[in-house]
Chains A and B, each alone.
Chain A
Amino acid sequence: MTKVLPPSVVRGRRVVFALLVLSALVSAVVVAALLAAAVVALGSLV
């Protein structure tokens, strides 16, 4: 069953997509910070 969603649901999905992009950006910052910390830790060991 495939039906066009009501506009309110489509709007809601756009908002959720924006949240997904935002969470990806936050995650990129977190992972970059973790990698940088790992590199610094390895450098200090060497």
Chain B
Amino acid sequence: MWWYIVAGLTIVAAGAVAVTVILVLSAAFAALAASAVAVFTAGFVPVAMRRAGAVVLRDVDQGHLRVAPPDPPPPGRDPGYLSYYFGPAWRDCGDMLVAGGRAAVRRALSLRAKGPRSVLGYLLDAWRLPDELNSWPGVVGKVIFTGGLVGGLVGLVAGAAVAGTFLLVAALVFALLLGALLGGTWAVCAVLHLVELAALRVRGITVECPSCQRRVGVPVYECPQCQELHHRLLPGSLGVLARTCRCRAELPTLLLRGRSRLRAHCSHPDCRGVLPIGGLTAPTHHVPVVAGKVAGKTVHMLAAIADLRDDDGFAFGDDHTRDSFVNVAEQLQDLRTVPSTLPTAPLRAATFFVGVGSRRRLVYLYDAAGEYYQSSDKVSGLRFLGSTAGMLLVVDPFSLPSVLSRMTAEEIELPQHSTSPPDDVVSRIADGLRERDVGRRRDRIGVRVAVVVTKCDVLLDRGPVPHPYEVRDATGRSERSAAVAAWLADTAGEGGLVRQLANQYAEVGYFAVSAFDAFGAGPRRSGRTGRELSNDPPSAPLRWLLRPRAGAL
């Protein structure tokens, strides 16, 4: 009997020992699984980061960035690629978070058959292993592997907590850094734009359209490669220092980086005229050439520009002006070939740069047809009067009755000449300038006037009317100016004109020129007295208008 008891107790003790061993094994396996799985799961952080990094290391656009300009661009959008920092970076940021998070979750929890198995998949597969034994070892194995599964799940949660904390902190830091970068980029854009505006304001630089004569705030720039127009080529959402055009040409957004070398157009939609190349790099100087019909405005303009062309820093402002003056030498050889400016022709300024360094100027020379100055209404319509800084008043000596009568009385052969008296034109222009409110100095119109007596080669060559510098010896500029003024008042009978100009304008200078001096104004012998005299160079009136105020006459 007692043998049965002893055997029973032995069996129970052995069973207890076996169960204890199994539970200890299960707990040990659980601890081992928990540690291994926690470390393994935390190790997915580099996988997630690598996947996130791969998103931005591709050089191809899968379409999610939406940086390419729409075709056609909607109103207000230029045909340039969107700057990466103004939207696409956030879209990439979102993609990186999603890609990194998905990679980590897939490696840890995915139960899909395709692709590499996840940690959870490995744990479940290991837990199912004893099922194939179908006997008591299978039950024992199930108990031990259940411990492993529980430990593995605990390890998975712990590893995921560490990895999640890492990724969350990394995402927060990344978002903060990216936000700071984008904010900084906005600030840089604003500062660059403001600095450029301030520099232009300080130097008094503007640009006006030679075609419509209106001021242009932001020129419309043309891509040199595809000729697409960019309406706001400034630091902004399409680029900070440069913008990528639809054709992938890089266009500078700052004048300092060469924006002014691009072909520019007027920003007014009803005009779109071509602006001078290099506009907004030098102060502009608007100079109308004023006179009645056939007074020689165009010839004087040609001669003045021909005289200036050899100066350091001279450059044509646009192709239109360059083309117009390409044959200037031939035209000045035979003045009859110079076409009259037609009143029906579009009024477009000739533009060119003069001077170097800080004295560089962009000059707009307006050669409006004489018909424009024949009525006050037409003068009022001349927009360029609003930005006029100086005026070339061309006086044809043979339009003055006193000179004409003396020359015709002696049957002197005269060139084609004007019949419009200059004083009428002067009055209308003065009214037009006052209407445009061009500014005043010493109660007079604050515009310099260079009075240019033209065709002086005829006065020097023949006839009873003396050349202005024959009447009075004159060497310095002020003496020569006084000599021409005296000639107009005393010899030509235009004292009224001289007084009118002196009363209306702050500064008036007088010049005696001949277009034939365009290629060198040397001394010429008077046909009347035999004295050698020099006319003023054709460019002298323009140079006088452009000189700084400090050196006023």
Contact = CB atoms under 8 A, between A and B. Distances in A.
**A complexed with B:** yes
Interface of A: 1-17, 19-24, 26-28, 30-31, 34-35
A9 B170 contact: no
A8 B226 CA distance: 19
B352 interface: no
A4 B61 CA distance: 6
Contacts of B190: none
Q: Is the contact region of chain A dominated by helix, strand, or loop, or is it mixed? A: helix
Contacts of A16: 56, 84, 89, 92-93, 178
Given A13-B57, A19-B181, A24-B170, A6 B96 contact: no
11 contacts: A2-B61, A5-B61, A5-B65, A8-B83, A8-B250, A12-B83, A15-B181, A19-B174, A23-B177, A31-B162, A31-B169
A27 B170 contact: yes
A7 B123 CA distance: 47
Closest 8 CB pairs of A and B: A12-B84, A27-B170, A23-B174, A23-B173, A27-B169, A13-B56, A6-B244, A9-B84
A2 B60 CA distance: 6
Contacts of A26: 169-170, 173
A13 B84 contact: yes
Contacts of B250: 8
B68 interface: yes
B386 interface: no
Nearest to B62: A2
Contact of A8 (B81, B167, B169): B81
B56 A3 contact: no
B49 A24 contact: yes
Contact-residue bracket for chain B: 35 or more
B333 interface: no
B52 interface: yes
Nearest to B180: A19
Given A8-B239, A12-B85, A20 B56 contact: yes
Contacts of B62: 1-2
Contact of B61 (A3, A12, A15, A34): A3
A21 B173 CA distance: 11
B177 A4 contact: no
Contact of B57 (A17, A19, A24, A30): A17
A10 B89 CA distance: 11
Interface string B170-194: 1101100110010000000000000
B166 A28 contact: yes
B173 A17 contact: no
Contact of B178 (A1, A19, A27): A19
B67 interface: yes
Given A8-B81, A27-B169, 19 more contacts: A1-B62, A1-B63, A2-B60, A3-B61, A5-B61, A8-B83, A8-B242, A8-B244, A9-B88, A10-B59, A11-B84, A12-B84, A20-B56, A20-B96, A22-B177, A23-B170, A26-B169, A27-B167, A31-B162
B248 interface: yes
Contacts of B57: 13, 17
A1 to B, nearest CB: 5
Contact of A3 (B68, B83, B96, B170): B68
A34 B58 CA distance: 34
A4 to B, nearest CB: 6
B165 interface: yes
B313 interface: no
B174 A20 contact: yes
Contacts of B130: none
A41 B114 CA distance: 42
Contacts of B273: none
Given A5-B61, A6-B81, A19-B177, A30 B169 contact: yes
Contacts of A9: 61, 65, 67, 81, 84, 88
Interface in B36-70: 49, 52-53, 56-63, 65, 67-68
Of B88, B173, B248, most buried by chain A (CB within 10 Å of CB) is B173
A45 B521 CA distance: 105
A16 B174 CA distance: 9
Given A12-B84, A27-B169, A17 B56 contact: yes
A3 B244 CA distance: 15
A6 B81 CA distance: 8
A32 to B, nearest CB: 9
Contacts of B166: 27-28, 31
Contact of A5 (B60, B162, B239): B60
A11 B181 CA distance: 14
Nearest to B170: A27
Contacts of B162: 31, 35
Interface string B85-101: 10011001100100000
A25 to B, nearest CB: 9
